[in-house]
Chains A and B, each alone.
Chain A
């Protein structure tokens, strides 16, 4: 597709665990970048939702993380790396409805167990790596037509 540029655009955001007051703002800024580039609305929607869910996972479960993005005319690639507890059983974590969220997180409207499935559903490529006690990396890519 023809973006308003032919350069590769890269950047990153720092994510702070536990800070719900700005939770989601990095995804909102990425959404703005994509909108300014002239990306198709449906693609922006998918990328924003996937990024937002991944960002929220960092805020909810991790101490901190980084959201890295690379945008080329062919693809939007996002890698979110966190320093968090890691995921013990990835297959289980990918099940809709499965959540390890504590009660206080549920009372804030998170922890319904839809985050990882939502990310996968909205991406064309999805990869999840995790080491218990160290952290988790979520990689997603959305192809541009």
Chain B
């Protein structure tokens, strides 16, 4: 499934301007701990978290993730979105909590 389909089905708010929406999603990783994501997330995964600080962009880049969904209506600062764009990382937000986003994605992808 392409990231664009995920965005549409979950009505996600896309914060970055890039062509990352065409990326193919390989799976989903849910965690707020950077060490956990670094150890366990896979190439092409969508990362679900409520973290909004700059490190999330670096981690997503290193792990070549499809994108980051920030939950609970948390809003990343403009600098985060800009850095994400320059690293070609797609940032999306939702008002849903992590459990529900994970649940909806699980239903869609499994």
Contacts and interface: CB of A to CB of B under 8 A. Distances in A.
Q: Do chains A and B touch in the complex (CB under 8 A)?
A: yes
A107 B74 contact: no
A99 B51 CA distance: 11
Contacts, number: 20
Contacts of B53: 97, 99
A34 B28 CA distance: 42
A107 B51 contact: no
Per DSSP, chain A at the interface is loop
B32 A109 contact: yes
Given A96-B74, A97-B52, A112 B34 contact: no
Contacts of B50: 112
B10 interface: no
Interface residues of A, number: 9
A112 B51 contact: yes
**Which of B55, B74, B75 has the most chain A CB atoms inside 10 A of its CB?**
B74
A111 to B, nearest CB: 9
Interface of B: 32-35, 50-53, 55, 74-75
Interface of A: 96-97, 99, 103, 106-107, 109, 112-113
